[in-house]
Structure 1
């Protein structure tokens, strides 16, 4: 007993000579925790089993349905209480496992197309040039339809599966694949829109329309001796530049038909270059109504393809479309 008191006294003396900030550590004594003895209140029993349903076949359904046991067409009060109690504890299971992702509908679509491709990937396929032409929905249209933030990379994966399924031979395409592809097609397919054919009237005239930039030309072509009238004026009188004159009748010159057809046209808008190139397209289209076999020659001459380019407009603070003022370059 005396040894323990002396030992405690020495510890206090040593602690008083140390830094006051470190005394707290030296005075700290470990605490001993003793377990208290408890008597069991009674025998331990297992919880009663939960009766999810009275029909064992319904366990195979995707969701567990709580149906109380019925006797003679009526449910007991006790069964109804158990049913209400279980409803408070039960967790609703979503119909799709993709519910917990950020994009459940997109994930379901991707998994559905992947399963269709794995199922039918052994069917014969055609090349990309022989496959049916399809205009798929754009990313914005798809995002608006499902209401989820889909990225471009993810939608590219979806389009890749759609194209692979579209390569299956049309005569062997399964019905489920056809239904899946129809969902992602646009409501209007541009390649199915056929232009109205140009017809020759009872006077032997073929009317066509040509456009270039902001110019519009309505052209009439009829068999004749090579005369050309533009807005009631001759070709040389209307166009001062030689290049514009050649552009206006380039379709006839490229096919060597300058002296076989008469041309008169009404042009509006734009400048002389735009009007001359609008006449090129209009004359070529009207000429095809008379001689459809000239289409390859006109295509090689570049007469039946419209030039979609437009003039780039001037921006604020610049001299032209892109030219900066001189003081900025300094």
Structure 2
């Protein structure tokens, strides 16, 4: 058989078989090249100090003692919660549960004697962690916070205080103290009140029961008896009508709005003279602002809510 009649591929195979050189010398050696990934092992969009997987350190980096740090081929996340759907929430829940177990033996105060704290709302917590946490899950965190907050304040550990501060609102509404109205050198206390679009300012001083409103007497300022009673209702509810004089300035709105605005102004000024009357004035409704206003008219309606009368023909 002539070699020239064979196909080109078969002739090349014969030459390789009879050649003294090895096959490995002709083939190029492919070496495995490992490339470092630039992706971070995290499911959160929030930039934070301790994420689920820290920055990857490859060979050649120096450790804290100056020696070359060992390189592990298998990357291990910082927290086991990385493999859950909500790693940051799980870490927070486990941290609070650990604190509750650690300090369960500390004495606690009664439910009504614990410091009042305004915790972050569900929306604020979602924005803080960057995860869609359900309301039922966040309720578990709030229950643990209440348990830690019930620890006696004098014995509360520092790490518990730090954990509670992370979930407190920036402004605690329970710590907003009421501003005390001062009494000037003439014995007058100034109170202000609003109702609808009316405003009132009232100066209350110890006297015999005289009332002047915009320079007019009570009967001249208000024609209706109900408005006259509303103007001095704070004094009448506490039996102080004949013990204080009132000089008031009112503006805006109608007579009913001005009279009820004057009720709030006189009540606040009376509290400056006698703070012990606050429970009685609160029961009488003299220190609470009425936020109701006239509802606006809507397009397509006769009034605020009234619809046009339907006519068949």
| SS of the residue 1:110 aligns to | helix
Tell me which residue corresponds to 2:190. Answer: 207
- The secondary structure found in structure 2 opposite 1:187 is coil
- SS of the aligned residue for 1:222 comes to strand
Provide the secondary structure at the position in 2 that maps to 1:219: strand
Per-residue deviation, 1:241: 1.8
The offset of 1:74, in angstroms, is: 9.8
Structure 2 unaligned segments of length 5 or more: list them.
1-52
Q: Which residue is equivalent to 1:323?
A: 306
SS of the residue aligned with 2:261?
helix
- Establish whether residue 174 from structure 1 lines up as the match of residue 152 from structure 2: no
Which of 135, 150, 173 in structure 1 is aligned with 2:118?
135
User: CA 1:74 to 1:229, structure 2 compared with 1: closer, same or farther past 3 Å?
Assistant: closer
Residue 286 of structure 1 aligns to a residue in which SS? helix
1:174-230 CA-to-partner distances (Å, cap 9, x unmatched) read: 221111001111121122221221111112211011122333211111122322222
User: Distance between the aligned counterparts of 1:200 and 1:233, measured in 2?
Assistant: 24
Higher Cα radius of gyration:
1
Who is 2:281 aligned against?
298
Q: 1:123 and 1:328 mapped to 2: Cα distance? A: 75
Going from structure 1 to structure 2, the CA distance change for 1:315 and 1:113 (only over 3 Å counts) comes to farther
Alignment deviations for residues 238-292 of structure 1 (CA, whole Å, 9 cap, x no partner)? 2222111101100111122222221122223333322222211110111122222
Superposed displacement of residue 323, structure 1:
2.5
1:314–1:96 Cα change, 3 Å: farther
Q: How many matched pairs?
A: 255
Q: What residue is the counterpart of 2:209 in the other structure? A: 226
Which position in structure 2 is the counterpart of 1:108?
Answer: 91
Structure 1 residue 295, shift from structure 2 partner = 2.5
SS of 1:118's equivalent in the other structure is helix
Distance in 1 of aligned mates of 2:91 and 2:312: 56
Q: CA deviation at 1:119?
A: 2.2
Judging changes above 3 Å, is the alpha-carbon distance between structure 1 residues 74 and 124 closer, same or farther for their aligned structure 2 residues? closer
CA drift at 1:92: 2.3
TM-score when scaled to structure 1?
A: 0.69
Give CA deviations for 1:93-141 in whole Å, capped at 9, x if unaligned. Answer: 2112222333221221111112212222332222221000111112222
Q: Once superposed, what is the RMSD of the aligned Cα atoms?
A: 3.0
Cα deviations across residues 134-182 of structure 1 (Å, max 9, x unaligned)? 1111222222222222232222222121111111221221221111001
Match of 2:233 in 1: 250
CA–CA distance in 1 between the matches of 2:215 and 2:128?
54
Q: 1:19-72: CA deviations, max 9, x gaps? A: xxxxxxxxxxxxxxxxxxxxxxxxxxxxxxxxxxxxxxxxxxx9998768x9xx
**2:4 aligned partner:** none
> What are the ranges of 5 or more consecutive residues in structure 1 without an aligned counterpart?
1-61, 76-82
